[in-house]
């Protein structure tokens, strides 16, 4: 019985010793960390230069070049944030702190050491700064208007199609950016318009495809199109002979050709043979050729598609 009691007392003190030891270790660790954080350390940090109030006509080419390396001395606790971030930002005034060269913005780092020190704060002691002078490449901002291209994949329901063409809410897009970048761009493209089984009018808003380093005004457009029910028609059209020498007499046949065309139902009854012109160019044949190739040289704007059933016109010289 006494043995069990002694074991219980021993276990109790043992647990208390372990607990006491853990507390001591925790306190010691806290003091160790605190002492480390209050010690002075030297560390190289990156400072990103942000130019404020820069005129709109200037565009900085490469932001990654807008930085300087600084060796500082500071308390450990002050340097802790640099474990989680790559750089600190220093703001400079375009009107007083820089010089604008022919192709670069020049910042005299050594001359403005006090400005950098003031923004870093008294917790940092600057030991060295590199480079002595920072050259930031720039381009002049330019603008122009460019046409818009529709990127679309549209499947229409059977018997339906677009009447006329797609229309945009704006004819052209204003682009603004570095002059050499702007010169490379001749058109802008919309995001892809995907539609299936379409049998009603199209009215969609599309964003434009982003172009790096270029601002677009506006950045989205409305796209519209009239969708109608279509049908196929056929018609006989006279053949016209062109570019025949006056001293050449020929007889050709057939004198008319059959055309098939695709048109919306509302316009079907408006189609006449006089709306089309089928021509054979005599100057396009060689000496031994005995046939002419008919080509459609005129059709109504509201006709969607048109094709010739007759691919050749035979002729003989008289």
Specify the pLDDT at position 94: 85
Q: Are 308 and 294 in contact (CB under 8 A)?
A: yes
Q: Is 212 in contact with 142 (CB distance < 8 Å)? A: no
**Distance between CA atoms of residues 64 and 61, nearest Å:** 9
Phi, psi angles (nearest 5°) of residue 218: -80, 175
Read off the tokens for 22: 């853990």
Q: What is the Cα–Cα distance from 225 to 166, expressed in whole angstroms?
A: 5
Which is nearest to 302 in space by CA: 274, 275, 273?
275
Q: What is the Cα–Cα distance from 289 to 293, expressed in whole angstroms?
A: 11
Give CA–CA dist 81/90, Å, rounded: 16
Interatomic CA distance for residues 109 and 218, integer angstroms: 40
**Closest C-alpha to 257, from 302, 292, 305:** 292
Q: What residues does 193 pair with on adjacent strands?
A: 152
* pTM passes above 0.75: no
What 3-state class would DSSP assign to 278?
strand
Please report which helix (H) or strand (E) contains residue 164, including its range: strand 160-168
Phi-psi region of 67 (alpha: psi -120 to 50; beta: other; left: phi over 0): beta
Q: Hey, is 7 helix, strand or coil?
A: helix
State residue 25's pLDDT score.
59
pLDDT confidence of residue 123: 82
- CB-count burial class (<10 Å; 0-12, 13-18, 19+) for 195: middle
How far apart CA 204 and CA 51 sit, in angstroms, is 40
DSSP state of 78: H
In angstroms, rounded to a whole number, what is the distance separating the alpha carbons of residues 207 and 268?
A: 36
Decide if 172 contacts 148 (C-beta within 8 A). yes
Tens of each residue's pLDDT in the chain, 318 residues: 555 555 555 555 455 555 665 665 565 555 545 555 567 778 888 888 888 888 877 877 766 678 888 888 888 777 777 777 788 888 888 888 888 888 888 989 888 888 888 888 888 888 888 888 888 888 878 889 999 999 999 999 999 999 989 999 998 999 988 888 898 999 999 999 999 999 999 999 999 999 988 989 999 999 999 999 999 999 999 999 999 888 889 899 999 999 999 999 999 999 999 999 999 999 988 878 889 999 999 999 899 899 998 889 999 887
> What is residue 33's three-state secondary structure?
helix
- If one counts every other C-beta atom within 10 angstroms of the C-beta of residue 178, the result is 19
CA trace torsion 89, 94, 99, 103 (10° rounding): 80
Per-residue pLDDT, 96: 87
pLDDT at residue 267, as a whole number: 93
């Amino acid at each position: 019985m006494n043995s069990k009691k002694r074991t219980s007392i021993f276990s109790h003190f043992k647990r208390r010793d372990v607990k006491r030891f853990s507390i001591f270790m925790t306190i010691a660790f806290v003091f160790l960390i605190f002492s480390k954080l209050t010690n002075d350390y030297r560390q190289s940090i990156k400072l990103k230069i942000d130019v404020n109030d820069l005129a709109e006509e200037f565009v900085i080419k490469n932001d990654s070049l807008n930085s300087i390396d600084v060796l500082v001395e500071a308390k450990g606790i002050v340097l802790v944030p640099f474990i989680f971030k790559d750089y600190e930002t220093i703001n400079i005034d375009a009107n007083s702190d820089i010089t604008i060269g022919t192709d670069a913005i020049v910042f005299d780092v050594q001359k403005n050491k006090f400005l950098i020190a003031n923004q870093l704060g008294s917790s940092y002691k600057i030991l060295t700064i590199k480079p002595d002078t920072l050259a930031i490449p720039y381009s002049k901002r330019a603008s122009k208007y460019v046409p818009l291209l529709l990127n679309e994949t549209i499947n229409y329901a059977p018997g339906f199609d677009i009447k006329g063409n797609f229309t945009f809410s704006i004819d052209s897009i204003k682009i603004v950016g570095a002059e050499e970048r702007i010169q490379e761009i001749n058109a802008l493209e919309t995001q892809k318009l995907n539609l299936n089984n379409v049998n009603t009018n199209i009215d969609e808003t599309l964003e434009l495809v982003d172009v790096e380093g270029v601002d677009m005004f506006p950045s989205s457009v409305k796209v519209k199109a009239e969708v109608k029910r279509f049908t196929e028609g056929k018609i006989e059209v006279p053949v016209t002979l062109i570019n025949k020498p006056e001293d050449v007499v020929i007889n050709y046949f057939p004198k008319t050709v059959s055309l098939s065309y695709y048109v919306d139902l509302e316009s079907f009854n408006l189609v006449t043979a006089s709306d089309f012109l089928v021509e054979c160019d005599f100057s396009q044949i060689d000496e031994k050729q005995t046939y002419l190739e008919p080509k459609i040289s005129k059709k109504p704007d509201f006709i969607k598609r048109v094709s010739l059933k007759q691919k050749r016109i035979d002729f003989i010289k008289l």
